[in-house]
Amino acid sequence: MYFNHKIADNYGRLLNENFNEPETHIFLDKVFALPEINNIHFVDIGANIGEFLIDYSNHPKISAVSAFEPQAEQIKVLQKSIELNDFQKTIVIPKPVADSTKDILFNFSSKNSTASGITEDKSKGTIVQSTCIDEYFKENIDQEFVFLIDTEGAELDIMKGGRNLIKKLNPLIIFEYNHVTREHFTIDDVRVELGNNYEIYKLESKGNLSTNLKNTWNLVAFPKRKVFMPLLPKP
């Protein structure tokens, strides 16, 4: 991974050769090891410096990786890492993702860039052009999509911007739900948006799924599809 000293704080435990979110890596390893799942398009929304891009860009079952990240210094890291590793299947989309394609206010936080995100505060925001899942992936959606969404509170709006794809393909969706995102939406809001084809599980520290939705950091919107059933907790 390319090291950019301007945003050294973004690397966290990666500097000590440890993942920042090991449970997510463990769970994704299980997903990509499922025998019936192939031709996967892995979509990392809020890719930051590419912790997951590095881990999965050369995975044999993954046919494409799309990394969405609007921050310039983080984009530099992503593009340099792709170049250094000769990742042929990975592209960076330098835009925020929202509920539609439109002009939005984005807070490029200089004090803590890991907390940057869409805002309604005109004193903090810069106008940028967003994209959305349904617009960006409106063609060639014959792949198995897996989404990872970490966007400091915009997770629900991003799902709303992907209603058509989600309804048609029922992809697996991992999304952040912690003290920050709770201020923007609830688990029930996600349930209403995704409908009866999904169940919501907590992603536990060892990469397992749980129905205990207390003290969460990441949740998994789990589609009721046979291919994913081996990942469910045993009764």
The rounded average pLDDT for each run of 10 residues, N- to C-terminus, in the chain (235 residues) is 94 92 96 95 97 96 96 96 97 96 82 68 81 92 93 95 96 95 95 97 95 95 96 86
CA distance 149 to 147: 6
CA distance 99 to 118: 11
For residue 205, which of 22, 12, 30 has the smallest C-alpha distance? 22
pLDDT at 111: 65
pLDDT at 114: 64
For residue 152, which of 111, 188, 198, 106 has the smallest C-alpha distance? 106
CA distance 72 to 70: 6
Residue 168 covered by a domain:
no
For residue 154, which of 132, 126, 139 has the smallest C-alpha distance? 132
pLDDT at 170: 97
Residue range of the domain that includes 78: 1-7+48-94
Residue 150 covered by a domain:
no
CA distance 56 to 24: 12
Number of domains into which the chain is organized: 1
Residue 59 covered by a domain:
yes
Note the pTM of the prediction, 2 decimals.
0.93
Residue 56 covered by a domain:
yes
How far are the Cα atoms of 116, 118, 206 from residue 126, in angstroms, in the given order?
A: 11, 9, 38
